[in-house]
Structure 1
């Protein structure tokens, strides 16, 4: 698909908490082109188009790299910067890997929650009401995510393995002006 459509779909898939800018999308696409993970073609679609549109398509090497990345487990898989993206593609991931990533994320958040609660006890008397309210909000957000992860883990363990198709979800080429 083209860059505009790719950005739109990724932003929709990742939700409001994470927005992919063109300033990060196009340099990443260029890097992926140099690594032969994607290829680009140009097309002219309509008479109204002033210039050719660039369409990106995942190569076989790109599919293999995606499979490799989605099979990795470890701290990078459950960190704040990468967890949402990885989670968005969980349907392309083996159940055991999903469980390890979810459990890793939950453990990381539980450790963070413990540290924050200890710090709160030490600083509670030193902060004004708004700072205290912000801290309380942060703690409740992490507690909510830990519960959500626990529910996901339990559902994953209680669901028989599905025969979901593996790999990157594909769509037909879509053109875009760059």
Structure 2
């Protein structure tokens, strides 16, 4: 399983490729990426930023004073080493690439990833979810008589959610493969 700090590092590097950002903006954008169920605290973000600064993956670009506060606002930007680390992390195709904690962040930056890597990650995620779906369905059939209706409903919800995501992934994989066969036409000048 990917450590949370590594997931945050990947997300920070991806966001800083869009341009320099200060900590507040990074936290706001990371919380949007992580989704409604997870909130990133400053207590998680700033130690990660300090570690990334020590590792020369990012650097302080400028500091600006805000009209509301007298404290300078530190702006971070990605370094060449950070770009190389981002590319390395995005090219990984092992199980950490499709884990629940890591997949959404990686997916957000798929536009900067090679098609073959995208396909391998999508296929790995789909296989993992299909295994989970099969396990939930077998448990559901075994326990339907033994659990109350709310537990059974929760299990059915899990099955439906996994089925939707498996279908979504299959659609994405098919779209990627059709692009592989029929690459988009290049605009003529």
**Runs of 4+ residues over 6 Å off in structure 1:** none
* Aligned-residue RMSD, C-alpha: 1.8
CA contact (8 A) 2:66 2:72 kept: no
Matched residue, 2:128? 108
Match of 2:139 among 104, 112, 119: 119
How far the C-alpha of 1:38 sits from its partner, in A, is 0.6
Give the TM-score taking structure 2 as reference length.
0.80
What do the CA deviations read for 1:24-46 (whole angstroms, capped 9, x no partner)? 21121111112110112452345
Match of 2:70 among 17, 36, 50: 50
Give the TM-score taking structure 1 as reference length.
0.84
Matched residue, 1:88? 108
CA contact (8 A) 1:36 1:61 kept: yes
How far the C-alpha of 1:48 sits from its partner, in A, is 5.1
**Structure 1: any 5+ residue segments left out of the alignment?**
164-178
Q: Give matches, 1:11-50, under 5 Å.
A: 11-46=31-66, 49-50=69-70
Aligned length: 163
Distance 1:52 1:123, change over 3 A: same
